[in-house]
Structure 1
Amino acid sequence: MSETSASLRRKLNSAGDLQSVVRTMKALAASSIGQYEKSVRALADYYGSVELGLSVCFRESQPARLRAGRKGQCGSVSAVIFGSDQGLVGRFNEVVVDFALQRLTSLPGQHEVWAVGERAHARLADSGLAVRGVFVVPSSVKAIAPLVGQILVDSESGDSQGEAGELHLFYNRPTSGAAYEPVAQRLLPLDEKWRGQLAELPWPAGNLPEIIGDGAATLRALIREYLFVSLFRACAESLASENASRLAAMERADTNIGDLLESLRGDFHRLRQSGIDEELFDVVSGFDALAEDAGIKKLSKRAKVK
């Protein structure tokens, strides 16, 4: 079916409107990436303070006492997998979920998973893995802290029953440009090498501080802050990666729409030129016909005069 100028104009208008929407989404994604990356950088000083506090506890604690921050050594594995709730993110959820499943299958024991995002939850449910709960993906930096608090409450409720021996995080971390990569982090039990490094961490002042009161309670409080910062950073980096994936998808869509608009404009101009040529041809043909008719009449008059 041949196109008409009216139909091509409608397609041009629709493609132009769609391009405006895509560019708006690009701007929103780029802005979101900035705020999540800024929140991660803002955690650095606080995380450094937590590490200094832990270094003091680790200097004074015995090995058996260091395990007081986590109950249950039954070998069960809990994991938090950060995905997305929205579309237009490419293979964002597939990448992190497949990476998590590959890592979890190599860990012995019973596996329990918390999913952040409905799309990650659906993919995990299809895999047959026991999904203990699902959380809504935060829509802003301010919503990350309540989510982290809820994750800690749920994980500690299982911990109080001695159900979990390990806690792992799986999320996408931004790399250069609009790319990302899946990463894994074991939060609990605390890594022995990491604890040793913190115990040898130099104190910025001349005199080391002393722990007042129950050292085990102080250690548990600092470990909780360490978990909070780690979960907050993982969530913020996952959200930055999600928006980076959406930005890349919108850039591809913007390019494709631009190519489509260029093609439609070319078709529209060719069709319009073809219509103009036809009209000019009709005018010339009409003029020739009139000129020929006028010539015939003129010859006829001359014949009558003779």
Structure 2
Amino acid sequence: METLETLSDKLDTTGDIQSIVRTMKALSAVSIRQYEQAADAVASYAKTIDMGLTAILHDRRAGGLSLPHTGSTDADVAGLIVIGSDRGLCGRYNETVARAAVDCINDRTAVLGVIGARAAARLEAQRHKADRLFLLPGSVAGMTPMVGRVIVEIESWMRERGVETVNVVHNRREGRSRAVPTSSAVLPIASEDLQQLADARWPGPGLPFFRMDRDRLLSWLVRERLFVLLYRALAEALASEHATRLAAMQSAERNIKERREDLTSDYRRKRQETITREMLDVISGFEAVSGSDD
């Protein structure tokens, strides 16, 4: 049977947990906004890269050259990047992205890179061990070097393993809290996208002049486009992770509030019972003393 002291300790513990949950809710809400702003910011850079590609494709066309070959989407050797989570308290987030990744793995998938230890563990449990594991950055500031390391790894796959096609699988925020898995190709640039860029009208009166070797410049622009796609995917994944965690914390807060109300009710009832019992003891003792005096 619970005592007043036990109920009081439980109320204190519940209050401490409630404070932690509120703090985590606030951190997740702030993080969602930061990662969404990062995704919006890189969109402007993406437009700059596309304009650069449009300029060089127009220059190639003026020189009588065809569209460049950036890789084959039907290549026999492909790579897959999966973005998961390193932290918990985000429900089925990693299970969802791991299931989507398994659906994308086929006979062409020669190398598997995973960002996030928990997603890597999920995939390994399904007999898909990561060839390269990356740990997620803890803030927006760590995203750029993180993406840089992934690009270096992809370039290594291309040199050493003959990889031409690279896809990325990650969760994307849908609504306020739902994380929906999505898959997209980051390499090579699809021929229809190249054609669209080549057909795009230049906004100025004349094309920009460049001194760098045309092929080197094209290679650099393709690399920067890869950076933009990976950065955006990482930002969307981190925003969806924190949105999922925020939803979990909101649910936990409701449960804690209900539990605290139950404990408060039990505590008050127990306290009233204790007071009543002590008063009865006092009355019984007084009557006993009064009877003995007679």
TM-score (norm: length of structure 2): 0.91
Aligned mates of 1:218, 1:272 — CA distance in 2: 78
Q: State whether residues 80 and 113 of structure 1, in contact with CA within 8 Å, keep that contact through their aligned partners in structure 2.
A: yes
Aligned mates of 1:250, 1:146 — CA distance in 2: 30
Q: State whether residues 89 and 249 of structure 1, in contact with CA within 8 Å, keep that contact through their aligned partners in structure 2.
A: yes
Instruction: Give the drift of 1:270.
Output: 0.2
Instruction: Give the drift of 1:75.
Output: 1.5
Which segments of 5 or more consecutive residues in structure 2 lack a partner in the other structure?
A: none
Q: State whether residues 71 and 189 of structure 2, in contact with CA within 8 Å, keep that contact through their aligned partners in structure 1.
A: no
Match of 1:160 in 2: 159
Match of 2:103 in 1: 102
Percent of pairs identical after alignment?
36
Q: State whether residues 80 and 109 of structure 2, in contact with CA within 8 Å, keep that contact through their aligned partners in structure 1.
A: no
Match of 1:247 in 2: 246
Match of 2:39 in 1: 40
Matched, 1:135 2:134: yes
Aligned mates of 1:281, 1:36 — CA distance in 2: 63
Counterpart of 1:260, as a letter, is R
| Range moving further from structure 2, 189-198 or 250-259 | 189-198
Which segments of 5 or more consecutive residues in structure 1 lack a partner in the other structure?
A: 298-306
Aligned residues: 291
For 1:39-65, what per-residue CA distance to the aligned partner results, in whole angstroms no more than 9, with x for missing partners? 111112111111111122233447865
Instruction: Give the drift of 1:16.
Output: 0.7
Match of 1:66 in 2: 68
For 1:77-100, what per-residue CA distance to the aligned partner results, in whole angstroms no more than 9, with x for missing partners? 101100111111111111111101
Instruction: Give the drift of 1:221.
Output: 0.7
Aligned mates of 2:32, 2:176 — CA distance in 1: 11
Counterpart of 1:91, as a letter, is R
Q: State whether residues 74 and 163 of structure 1, in contact with CA within 8 Å, keep that contact through their aligned partners in structure 2.
A: no
Instruction: Give the drift of 1:281.
Output: 2.3
Counterpart of 2:68, as a letter, is L
Match of 2:275 in 1: 276
Counterpart of 2:97, as a letter, is V
Matched, 1:12 2:21: no
Q: State whether residues 67 and 195 of structure 2, in contact with CA within 8 Å, keep that contact through their aligned partners in structure 1.
A: no
TM-score (norm: length of structure 1): 0.88
Instruction: Give the drift of 1:286.
Output: 4.0
Q: State whether residues 177 and 246 of structure 2, in contact with CA within 8 Å, keep that contact through their aligned partners in structure 1.
A: yes
Instruction: Give the drift of 1:277.
Output: 1.4
**CA spacing shift, 1:207–1:64, aligned 2, 3 Å:** closer
